[in-house]
């Protein structure tokens, strides 16, 4: 088994650890923050090798086209890692890549919803969608040009997405919105991830399954606080929004929190055994505060949970060298780099002070 692990991961892990080292040591973030304008930041991006993204700005002057180019680079990078793996590890990498596909489909459906339900113009927005195949063969042109909900379903023919969408009707989503539909897509994707992790063997299974469950626990915590506390969602909808895996989902404390009166939910009781620091930070916050305050507190929660995730990946990189842990860590750092670049460019576009941008990113 050890020889097989060395054969499978010897080359790829060495290559990806080198790339992770470059990402962690790169001066890109510092250089972008020092830029005096968006145009200057684009020039710095070009100097660091993001030529296609810079050229997208040269041609259009459109920041969102730059972000689209960066996303395409990220997809191509993930696909190159997938091509270096085989068997069950490759299947897991494919599922991870599929998360970008899920988001692209959700974005497409949101645009259609905006047009079909709210009668807003969307043509200009469709330029920012991925139209090329990511994992599954999807007719994105038909999906983007869909007029009816049935057109959306037909465009996803032959994929599991179609089966999810068939569970909803136009009348349902026009009345209640897309929350349940998007939750159903996310839950199915996490189910695919758990299944792929469970199919692995030995150390691969331990590492991948542990990371997947950790992320699900953190996602469930965030939803319980955001929707259950801030937005006081009713018990049934809140329960249905959770991913049905992990200890947070199955805990009695979680159950008691969900069924309690929404106005009386106390997240510090939900968190004190698992995340005592976060529980303490939320203790004196009033969810009836203004919307801006709620957004800031939600970001604080996301930041805290993100730090937990970062610690886990640091631990993976210092652990056993010949496992799928290194590719998973690489995906984490590479995705973080993508969001860092988009975050700084967005800040420069809106004229936000560099110190404030850095504070948001840190």
Average pLDDT over residues 291-312: 74
pLDDT per residue as tens digits for the range 165-197: 999 999 999 999 999 999 999 999 999 999 999
Name the pLDDT band for 290 (thresholds 50, 70, 90): low
Closest CA to 161 of 194, 197, 135, 125: 135
pLDDT at 1: 44
Average pLDDT over residues 128-156: 94
Name the pLDDT band for 11 (thresholds 50, 70, 90): confident
**DSSP letters of 295-307?**
HHHHHHHHHHHHH
pLDDT at 254: 95
138 or 270, which is more confident: 138
Enumerate the H helices of 166-231 as residue ranges.
Answer: 170-176, 179-198, 202-225
Lowest-pLDDT range of 176-190, 296-310, 314-328 = 296-310
pTM: 0.91
Residue 34 has pLDDT above 60, yes or no: yes
Lowest-pLDDT range of 8-17, 173-182, 209-218, 287-296 = 287-296
Angle at 204 between CA 105 and CA 221, to 5 degrees: 55
pLDDT at 311: 87
Q: Which residues of 190-228 are buried (b: 16+ CB within 10 A; e: fewer)?
A: bebbbebbeebeebbbebbbebbbbbbbbbbbebbbbbb
Name the pLDDT band for 287 (thresholds 50, 70, 90): low
Q: Classify residue 64 as exposed, middle or buried by CB count within 10 Å of its CB (0-12, 13-18, 19+).
A: middle
pLDDT at 319: 76
Pairwise CA distance, residues 166 & 186, whole Å: 15
Instruction: Please give the mean pLDDT across all residues of the chain.
Output: 90
Closest CA to 176 of 128, 216, 234, 261: 234
Pairwise CA distance, residues 85 & 361, whole Å: 32
Average pLDDT over residues 48-52: 95
Pairwise CA distance, residues 123 & 118, whole Å: 14
Average pLDDT over residues 63-76: 97
Average pLDDT over residues 90-101: 96
pLDDT at 285: 64
pLDDT at 289: 62
Average pLDDT over residues 221-229: 90
- Sorted by where each begins, the domain ranges of the chain are 1-85+324-362, 99-200, 203-320
Q: Please name the fold of domain 1-85+324-362.
A: Topoisomerase I; Chain A, domain 4 (1.10.132)
């Amino acid at each position: 088994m050890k020889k097989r692990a060395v054969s499978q991961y010897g080359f790829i892990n060495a290559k990806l650890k080198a790339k992770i080292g470059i990402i962690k040591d790169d001066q890109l973030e510092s250089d972008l923050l020092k830029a005096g304008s968006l145009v200057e930041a684009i020039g710095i991006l070009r100097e660091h090798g993001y030529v296609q993204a810079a050229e997208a700005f040269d041609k259009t002057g459109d920041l969102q086209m730059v972000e689209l180019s960066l996303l395409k680079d990220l997809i191509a990078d993930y696909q190159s890692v997938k091509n270096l793996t085989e068997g069950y590890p490759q299947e897991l990498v494919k599922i991870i890549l599929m998360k970008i596909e899920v988001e692209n489909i959700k974005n497409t459906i949101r645009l259609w919803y905006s047009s079909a339900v709210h009668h807003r113009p969307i043509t200009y927005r469709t330029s920012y969608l991925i139209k090329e195949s990511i994992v599954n063969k999807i007719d994105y042109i038909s999906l983007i040009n869909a007029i009816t909900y049935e057109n959306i379903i037909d465009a996803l023919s032959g994929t599991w997405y179609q089966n999810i969408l068939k569970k909803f009707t136009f009348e349902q989503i026009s009345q209640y919105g897309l929350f349940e539909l998007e939750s159903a897509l996310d839950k199915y994707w996490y189910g695919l991830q758990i299944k792929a992790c469970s199919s692995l063997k030995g150390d691969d299974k331990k590492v991948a399954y542990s990371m997947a469950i950790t992320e699900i626990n953190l996602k469930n915590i965030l939803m319980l606080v955001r929707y259950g506390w801030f937005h006081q969602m009713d018990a049934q909808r809140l329960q249905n929004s959770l991913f049905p895996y992990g200890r947070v989902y199955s805990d009695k404390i979680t159950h008691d929190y969900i069924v309690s009166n929404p106005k009386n939910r106390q997240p510090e009781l939900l968190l004190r055994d698992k995340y005592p620091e976060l529980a303490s930070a939320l203790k004196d916050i009033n969810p009836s505060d203004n919307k801006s305050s709620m957004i800031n507190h939600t970001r604080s929660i996301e930041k805290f949970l993100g730090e937990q995730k970062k610690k886990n990946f640091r631990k993976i990189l210092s652990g056993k060298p010949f496992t799928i842990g290194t590719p998973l860590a690489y995906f984490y750092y590479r995705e973080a780099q993508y969001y860092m670049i988009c975050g700084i460019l967005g800040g420069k576009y809106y004229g936000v002070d560099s110190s404030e941008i850095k504070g948001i990113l840190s």
